[in-house]
Structure 1
Amino acid sequence: MSSSADINEQAADWLLRLHEGSLEADELARFDAWKHADSQHTAALERMQNFVAQMQALRLQKAPVRAALSVGRRRTPRGKRSISALLLVIALALPLGLLVRSQAAVYWLADLRTAPAQWQTRTLADQSQISLAGNSAVDLHFDDQQRRVELLRGEILVDVAHDAQRPFIVATEQGEIRALGTRFLVKREDGSTLLTMLESRVAAHGVRSSATTEVAAGEQARISPDQVQTLGTVDTASVADAWQQRQLVVQDQPLTAVLDELAQQRAGYVHFDRAALAELRVSAVLPLDDSDRALQLIADALPVDVQRITPWLVRVSRR
């Protein structure tokens, strides 16, 4: 059974193609079959079409929306001008739905947060330093007994100041990492936390397990609620350099996974067909703070096209 996110993505793809007028008779038949195969499909289409109607009603009232639609009109042939409203709505509506399900309010209320493609470094009250990658958020809990950083979203680099009286803890939904003076990266992934040690050691454990695992400099581990799995070693100098340069370094990784990473650093939506791109793999060094350039580098190296439909919607398709 498809997830709500998958159904939204499929609905967006069908609506885009319908408004482009590019469907042949057999494709129209497949669309009709998809639409009637599940009541959730019809509901997703109706939600997006309702958003289109709402956005069109707001066109004359909201200056930012008018400006965005004007950009779409200038780039769209006369017979297809209405697509600008549709695409802007899809670009805004889909991420909004996903954000609501991932507790967007927690992100906006976080003690520290960064926008997509925005990096930030702060010195904390104990003189430790924390750097947030783009689209990241943390809550800080410092008192006389502990120093605790809760990673709510994204990735952080922490450089811990020594304090023998108060442990320094980084917590995620999956587990905790305890240090007394060290430097490491923590990244939230789907269902797990990725820990990369740059200096010294930490003790890590899952939220459903009291057994701790020591992870030393140059090692990487994945933390799940029930265990800490060591993944092997990394070149700490290269990892640190990539972080400082805001780069995504990938070696023979699935293109879909790379696109997911880049999508986290955009204010809008990256739309692509996972099945069509499933066989493509990437080896590259990509700029995380310039996703447009990263996508162009991918298009130059692989048989894919990158279509910038609006500033908020990019589509990547198999060439």
Structure 2
Amino acid sequence: MAHNRLPPAVADAIEWLALHRSGCMTDADRQRFEHWLRLSADHPIAWQCLQQRVGQAFADVPPLAHHVLSSPATSRRGLLRGALAVAGIGVGGWWLQRTGLLPFAQGDLHTGVAERRAFTLDDGSRVVLNAKSRVDLAFAGNTRTLILREGGLSIQVAADPLRPLMVVTPFGEAQALGTRFTVTLREGKADVWVQESRVQVKAPNGATVQLRSGEGAVLTSNAVHALDSNRAAEGRWEDGYLEIHDQPLGVVIDALRAYRRGVLRISPEAATLRVSGVFLLDDSAHVLRTLQETLPVRVEQPLPLWTQVSLR
């Protein structure tokens, strides 16, 4: 996407991000940046979304990332724009999608903000996508592959001993050895939970773990770690409820982002508060009000489409 075709807020955010990363930002630049953030409600949204996404984009293209980050400051703006385009973000469209102003772009299966949807695949498997999710299908020959691009999925796998079914993520893969499991993309990782039978998970470095019903694992770029079985309810969101047992408040906020338009942020201090409960995903406003009434946090909307959760 050409730079001059980007939404103005996104184009400006790219310029500011390049300056931030140049190592040459002056106090005057910082003042101008703070002024820019306040000029429009679109500006902080674009800035936050770009910051959240750019790290993942560069992780997908390490040589280019190194080239951008090691280049002279004067050339970084152009290189950053090129890196974002090559990494396939489609920054302008992605920004509109993530803030709920456009539906997700192309994908064989996809959902929008606050939308869960069930799909029946050609092999008879049933897939439920969480809100703001995208999946591409690669069913050919002796393989059945689902590529999870955004969000999360739950799948009831149709038996086919000649064609194993696999869910592929940027952080590894999960191969069905039985029937039902969920996979959810998070910041820098993917969570896998097994509801029935068995699943084999594999990280990019080759580490593998076989999970049984009620077990879960988190996949990162170089490891597989078991998840506490007491958290298994977190993998069951198809009915619109998130069940949490003694987890950081940040886990709840992360889950709500797919069900709320705009940007939802939480301060690092508030994110560490421990919570337990059952939260209705389809009514994020009610959940936020309840959190404010029962925890030492305040929920504020300083700008349209911008919600901030912080300690009182």
Verify same fold: TM over 0.5: yes
Whether 1:269 and 2:266 are equivalent positions in the alignment is no
Change (3 A) 1:41 1:196: farther
Residue aligning to 1:188: 185
Q: Distance in 2 between matches of 1:165 and 1:231?
A: 30
Q: Would the alpha carbon gap of residues 44 and 193 (structure 1) be closer, same or farther in structure 2, given more than 3 Å must change?
A: farther
Give SS of 1:186's match: strand
Inter-CA distance 41–168: structure 2 relative to 1 (3 Å threshold):
farther
Residues 314, 173 of structure 1: CA spacing in aligned structure 2 closer, same or farther, 3 A cutoff? same
Q: 1:265 to 1:45 in 2, by over 3 A?
A: farther
Match of 1:213 among 206, 209, 221: 209
What is the distance in 2 between the residues matched to 1:128 and 1:40? 56
Verify the 8 A CA contact 2:111 2:130 in the aligned structure 1.
yes
Q: Deviation per CA, 1:234-253, whole angstroms, max 9, x where unpaired?
A: 587x567x523212222222
1:162 aligned onto 2:159: yes
* Structure 1 partner of 2:274: 281
Q: Deviations over 1:97-146 (max 9, x none)?
A: 53465454486232222222211111111111111111211111011220
Cross-structure match for 2:239: 245
The answer to whether the 8 A contact 1:87-1:309 is kept is no
When residues 124 and 46 of structure 1 are mapped into structure 2, their CA distance, relative to the original with a 3 A threshold, is farther
| Percent of pairs with identical residues | 31
**Equivalent residue of 1:214, what SS?**
strand
Aligned pairs for 1:1-319 (under 5 A) are: 39=25, 43=29, 46-47=32-33, 49-50=35-36, 86-96=40-50, 98-99=52-53, 102=56, 104-105=89-90, 108-209=105-206, 211-234=207-230, 242-275=236-269, 277=270, 280-319=273-312
Aligned AA (2:110) = R
Q: Residue 263 of structure 1 aligns to a residue in which SS?
A: helix
Cross-structure match for 1:83: none
Q: TM-score, normalised by structure 1?
A: 0.67
The match for 1:22 is none
Offset at 1:259?
Answer: 2.3
3-state SS in 2 of match to 1:115:
coil
* Inter-partner Cα distance in structure 2 for 1:140 and 1:46: 45
Q: CA deviation digits over 1:39-69, x for unaligned, max 9?
A: 277656535644766xxxxxxxxxxxxxxxx
Cα distance in 2 for partners of 1:247, 1:195 equals 18
Distance 1:231 1:315 in 2: 29
The SS at the match of 1:244 is coil
Change in CA separation of 1:190 and 1:122 when aligned onto 2, cut-off 3 Å: same
Output one character per residue of 1:144-182: Cα deviation in whole Å (capped at 9) or x when no partner: 220000111211101111112111011111111112541
Q: Deviations over 1:292-318 (max 9, x none)?
A: 111111011112222234441112233
Alpha-carbon distance in 2 for matches of 1:315, 1:232: 29
User: How far apart, CA to CA, are the structure 1 residues paired with 2:32 and 2:224?
Assistant: 44
* Structure 1 gap ranges (5+): 1-36, 54-85
Give the partner amino acid of 1:283.
S
Query: What do the CA deviations read for 1:220-279 (whole angstroms, capped 9, x no partner)?
Result: 12223333333343587x567x5232122222222234323323432211244323x255
Look at both structures and tell me which one has the larger radius of gyration over its CA atoms.
Answer: 1
Question: Is contact 1:178–1:204 with CA below 8 Å preserved after alignment?
Answer: yes
Amino acid at match of 1:216: R
What is the rounded CA distance, in whole Å, between the counterparts of 1:226 and 1:279 in structure 2?
A: 25
Between the aligned partners of 2:266 and 2:229, the Cα distance in structure 1 is 33
- Structure 1 203/278 Cα, relative in aligned 2: closer, same or farther at 3 Å? closer
